Amino acid sequence: MELIPFSLWGDALWCGQEVVREAPHEQAIRSLFPDPIPARGADLDTEADLVPEPHNRFDPRSIAVRVQGKVVGYLPRDDAHRYHPVLSELVAQGLQPRVPCHLWVSEWEPADWDGKGAQGTEFHASVAVALGQPHMLVPVNLPPPGSFHLLPPGSGIVVPGSEVHPDVLAPFFRPEGECWAYATMHAIEEEDSIQDRHRIVVEIRLDDEPVGRLSARLSAEFLPAIHYLADMRAETAARVAVRGDRSASEVILYAARSHDLPATWPDGLARSPVASPQWHYWATKEAN
């Protein structure tokens, strides 16, 4: 079965998770770089697939790190065991977990090489991936039904919504105190009591339940993208983090503003998959 790439959401902003390498992996890493390697070394920012190996005879909970189909190392044993349940669940659903990856290499001649005989070179490499905590790798709810586009990540914005009833956010409370979720962004008209007129602002919804509205100033930074997608008959989706519990909670929006969107945006519309029993289990198991 061919797996569908799925970029883990995570909460890591840089590639800080070490990848363990052994001698056999160095050839695979070296093949990703030009020959010769510059004297100052070379680096590569790319994406890596995290591949559970249940049939690995040394450790059935090992996680291989593959770049362009080549194994460049493994997650450290203890880390692999922490991430194995969620990564294996994604694979079982037909999804291939994918994360940002940074590789750095250098190559030089040993100082004591006299220029005679077989030339030996010293090769050094480091590999790291951006990987959040296990409970922050996937959203806990299903994506919006129908056509939608997920905005690229952006800096966090606390969504005003103190009036939200706790029951609305209750399905998103987790023992860890936080989770990722799909939200949708909607242009709505509201009354401006100060200026005695109406204005268009952005409402944030979780599973079609309103959880807050952005200020008019912030709304103006997202409305162009929302209107554009609406003209394409598609919803605007975004990542949000839900933090807290019934006593105190907040929703934080992580979405790129319209002026920060890349020139190629949007690069395609997504459509929600048919929700299988396995997907439902993954999306709701922490809540039950």
CATH of the domain at 125: 3.30.70
Per the prediction, the chain carries an average pLDDT of: 87
Global pTM?
0.82
Average pLDDT, integer, range 7-32: 89
Q: Which residue has the tokens 């907040």?
A: 250
Instruction: Count up the domains in the chain and report the number.
Output: 2
pLDDT tier, 163 (very low <50, low <70, confident <90, very high otherwise): low
Cβ-contact 85, 17 below 8 angstroms: no
Of the residues 95, 129, 163, which one is the last residue of a structural domain? 129
Last residue of a domain, one of 76, 98, 129: 129
Question: pLDDT tens for residues 239-287?
Answer: 999 999 988 999 999 999 999 998 888 876 666 554 443 344 344 444 4
**Domain housing 210:** 148-254
Phi and psi (nearest 5°) for 114? -95, 5
Q: Are 107 and 174 contained in the same domain?
A: no
What beta strand segments (E) does the chain contain?
4-7, 17-18, 42-53, 62-67, 70-74, 95-108, 122-129, 147-150, 156-158, 178-192, 197-206, 209-213, 235-244, 249-254, 270-271
Asked if the structure places residue 229 within a domain, the reply is yes
> Which residue, of 78, 101, 129, is where some domain finishes?
129
Q: Is residue 278 part of a domain?
A: no
* Domain identity same for 93 and 181: no
Written as six digits, the tokens of 81 are 């065991």
The structure tokens listed for 176 are 């860890």
Percent with pLDDT over 90 in the chain = 69
- Report if residue 9 sits inside a domain: yes
